[in-house]
Amino acid sequence: MARNVSQADASVKAGEWQRSKYVGVSLVGKTLVVLGFGKVGSEVARRAKGLGMHVIAHDPYAPADRAHAIGVELVSFDEAISTADFISLHMPLTPSTAKMLNEETFAKMKKGVRIVNVARGGVIDEEALVKALDAGIVAQAALDVFTVEPPPKDSKLVQHERVTVTPHLGASTVEAQEGVAIEIAEAVVGALKGELAATAVNAPMVPAEVLNELKPYVELAEKLSRLSVQLVAGGSGVKSVKVGYASSRAPDDLDTRVLRAMIIKGLIEPISSTFVNLVNADFTAKQRGLRITEERIILDGSPESPLESIQVQIANVESKFASAISESGEISLEGRVKDGIPHLTKVGSFDVDVSLEGNIILCRQVDQPGIIGKVGSILGDENVNVSFMSVGRISRRIYAIMAIGVDDLPSSEALKKIGETPAIEEFVFLKLL
Ligand SMILES: NC(=O)C1=CN([C@@H]2O[C@H](COP(=O)(O)OP(=O)(O)OC[C@H]3O[C@@H](n4cnc5c(N)ncnc54)[C@H](O)[C@@H]3O)[C@@H](O)[C@H]2O)C=CC1
Ligand SMILES: O=C(O)C(=O)COP(=O)(O)O
């Protein structure tokens, strides 16, 4: 657009040679305003800086640090449009962006501004743009998208001498089409494997950076619920599950939808053939009559990490492992993320600490010397590797809870031997692998 390439090309092909008519403008040193600083907008900004442009952006939802990282300042809409030599549009078409450029906003722009729209047609009031072009406010426009596509043949905008048009070609390169195909195939494979379907259109939209931050907590949530459902004694149906999130973040700064979905996945998958993912989790829970209630425990302190701990409680059930029942009567497990790895940190009312990387053995034993050694040698004789072990007790020499993480699957004889060890009053083997 700035060098009149398309107009000059048409003119040479028509047999003309008009050099002075098609003198263009330089980009270097000009101010480019990027409206909508998302995936496309931020890449446009990065490249425009490489062309020597001064780039500022307006996006009410973009994080300022992401803009600063590429040397772009986020400014108000009015400041943006009134200082721009070029405006490039990269926001979605929503009720609040529809006709965002209109008669009133064109009036605030610098005379001679140039406008590029490769976002969506409806974000510009096309009639107002024709007027602004005729009034000399807008020197040129380059449009890839239109309110109605294809636009009517006699559209004044399309026919305008200072407007360059293309038929919605923004994403039309061989590489981009191949990239899109690969991305879709990978997302489908991931969804079929039960992974987080982050780009599904019928799933809650969770931005990639939020997903990334929550990743270890997502794993923790799923593992805690996978363990807790295995603690339920046969015959007592799981109907009501309470999830507690302890966090220093403000409630609306913590999106728990993914965590809830993974809790549901952990509860349902061990006991059914259904694959649960972000799309079907709430529906699957409802279908099975499973009620999930979420509770926020607001902590003081730095909101640096999204969560301090997650608690999963299953109410109105008996447990295979009585010590997993908390004082208030539910099966209760609590976990935390330590160095990026999920840990089980509480069983019933007992503090433990075992990393959730393998399978888990929980024992309740009389608190006396020698038990750890006995259980350790039973596992050692079987070549079962212990990854973590912790003992939590309520009072000395009364009884204690031992949590053992094992990398392998102990044989049923080994488990039987552990159960028969004198002083071990109850024990349970919980599978995570
Ligand atoms: N012409 C073509 O073939 C193509 C067009 N597009 C269009 O380009 C646009 C940008 O796409 P992406 O960067 O992938 O989307 P994106 O979702 O990554 O970015 C959109 C940005 O717009 C911002 N935004 C929302 N409301 C706003 C407002 N009122 N004012 C300013 N900013 C606002 C959002 O915060 C977000 O950062 C979309 O409209 C998309 O449909 C995308 C690819 C190809
Ligand atoms: O990805 C977008 O938003 C586009 O506008 C691309 O459209 P297309 O896939 O080329 O029909």
Tell me the pLDDT of the chain (433 aa) as tens digits.
999 999 999 999 999 999 999 999 999 999 999 999 988 999 999 999 999 999 999 988 777 888 999 999 999 999 999 999 999 999 988 878 999 999 999 999 999 999 999 999 999 999 999 999 999 999 999 999 999 999 999 999 999 999 999 999 999 999 999 999 999 999 888 777 766 666 676 666 677 778 888 999 999 999 999 999 999 987 567 889 999 999 998 888 888 888 999 999 999 887 776 788 878 899 889 888 899 999 999 999 888 889 999 999 999 889 999 999 999 999 999 999 999 999 999 999 999 999 999 999 999 998 888 888 899 999 999 899 998 899 887 777 788 899 999 998 899 889 999 999 989 999 999 998 8
CATH number of 7-171: 3.40.50.720
* Token output for 235: 């015959």
Regarding the beta carbon of 142 and ligand 1, being less than 6 Å apart is answered no
Regarding the beta carbon of 35 and ligand 1, being less than 6 Å apart is answered yes
Collapsing DSSP to helix, strand or coil, 267 comes out as helix
pLDDT of residue 204: 64
Collapsing DSSP to helix, strand or coil, 32 comes out as strand
Task: For 94-103, write each residue's pLDDT tens digit.
Answer: 878 999 999 9
Ligand 2 atom with the shortest distance to the CA of 172: 10
**Residue 168 annotated among the catalytic residues of the structure:** yes
Q: How far is CA 295 from CA 215, 246, 279, 313, in A?
A: 20, 9, 22, 11
Distance 170 CA to ligand 1 centre (A): 12
CA 273 to chain centre: 26
User: What span, in angstroms and rounded, lies between the C-alpha atoms of 74 and 156?
Assistant: 34
Rounded to two decimals, the pTM is 0.60
Residue 420's Cβ-count burial label (10 Å; 0-12, 13-18, 19+) is exposed
Give the dihedral sign, CA 176/177/181/187.
positive
* DSSP collapsed to 3 states, 69-135: HCCCEECCHHHHHHHCCEEEECCCCCCCCCCCECHHHHHCCCCCEEEEECCCHHHECHHHHHHHHHC
Regarding the beta carbon of 377 and ligand 2, being less than 6 Å apart is answered no
> Class of the 208-430 domain?
alpha beta
User: Is the ipTM beyond the 0.95 threshold?
Assistant: yes
**Residue 47 annotated among the catalytic residues of the structure:** no
Regarding the beta carbon of 357 and ligand 1, being less than 6 Å apart is answered no
pLDDT of residue 311: 97
